[in-house]
Amino acid sequence: MNRYETVFIMNPVLSEDQAAETVDKFKKFLKGKGAKIKHEENWGLRKLAYPIQKKTTGFYYLLEFEAAGDVIGPFEVEFRRDERIIRFLTTRMDKYHITYAESRRAKGKEKKEEKAKAEA
């Protein structure tokens, strides 16, 4: 089992429900193939670096999961078939990438906790 990270951009004209439905579709696909989802983040609506299909914004989403290598091919085919997806990128995480991602999440949690204490 390898650890992978996929970031995908969804069409900005989707409603919040449609975006959530799209994410659920890909999570169910992974779980159906025996993958374990380790982490997920909704980055929300963001501006694109350059226009894609005449769109300048998109809904970004990150999925971090453990799966066998033969799952990635069919997973990416599903992205290509879904017209709600503008772009996607899947990368295999090495031990340094995993360590960095976990430390980044820990720092993010600390900042949120400090902010909550300051507001209270």
**Spacing of C-alpha 15 from chain mean position:** 17
The per-residue pLDDT for range 59-116, each reduced to its tens digit, is 999 999 999 989 999 999 999 999 999 999 999 999 999 999 989 888 888 888 887 8
The per-residue pLDDT for 54 is: 92
Whether the CB-CB separation of 59 and 12 falls below 8 Å is answered with yes
Each residue's pLDDT tens digit, 8-21: 999 999 988 999 99
Contact predicate 23/7, CB 8 Å: no
Residue-wise pLDDT for 12-61, tens only, equals 999 889 999 999 999 999 999 999 999 999 999 999 999 999 999 999 99
Q: What is the pTM of this model?
A: 0.86
State whether residue 114 is helix, strand or coil. helix
Contact criterion met (CB below 8 Å) for 79 and 88? yes
Question: In whole angstroms, what is the distance from residue 63 CA to residue 5 CA?
Answer: 6
Structural domains present in the chain: 2-119 (3.30.70.60)
To the nearest 10°, report the CA torsion of 94, 97, 103, 108: -130
